[in-house]
Amino acid sequence: MNPETHALAQVNWQLFITLTLPQDLVGAGDRRLGSVCFAWLRYVAECGRVHFNDLKWCQRSELGELTGRPHFHFLLGGFPQSLTRRDRFAVKNKWESLTHAMSRVYKFDTSLRGVGYVLKGGTAYECGKFRNSADMVVLSESVARSLGRLLLAS
């Protein structure tokens, strides 16, 4: 396990999410895509009854192997309690209503190694799909704060 995967595995992730991008957002520019993503993340925080600044997220963008379609993988946490099935469905539907693209929302399962999957630290094959895989991971400020506290405590 690489150091990044080990550090992020210490975060209490609660959701694993895959979001596809609609054709009109592909190549639309970072500003427009960022606006849609942050609108969705703010809605997620609201559903999870957590202040947006305390929402923990880790995001990686990639291209699908078969179609080359861009999509995101998200790890989310920081919710005071587990999100209900209804909440997860609302989060899924919000992305789909904002973008008219597909989303999948799952409870995070530590046994499935979702952190390694999102970081693509597992195999040479996965790492080889990216020019520079470290550049494609984005962390929320709350995750950066959590990791800083973990480093100070050790």
- DSSP per position, 75-144: EEE--SSPPPHHHHHHHHHHHHHHHSS-EEEEE--GGG-HHHHHHT-S-HHHHHTSSSGGGGEEE-HHHH
CB–CB of 88/96 below 8 Å?
Answer: no
CB–CB of 153/43 below 8 Å?
Answer: no
Number of domains, the chain = 1
The model's pTM is 0.80
Q: What's the rounded mean pLDDT across residues 102-115?
A: 85
Token pair 């962390």 is at which residue? Answer: 139
> What does pLDDT average to over the chain?
80
Q: How do residues 14-50 score in pLDDT, each as one tens digit?
A: 999 999 888 776 665 567 777 889 999 999 999 999 9
The boundaries of the domain holding residue 78 are 3-153
Which CATH number does the domain housing residue 40 bear? Answer: 3.30.70.1910
Token pair 């997220």 is at which residue? Answer: 57
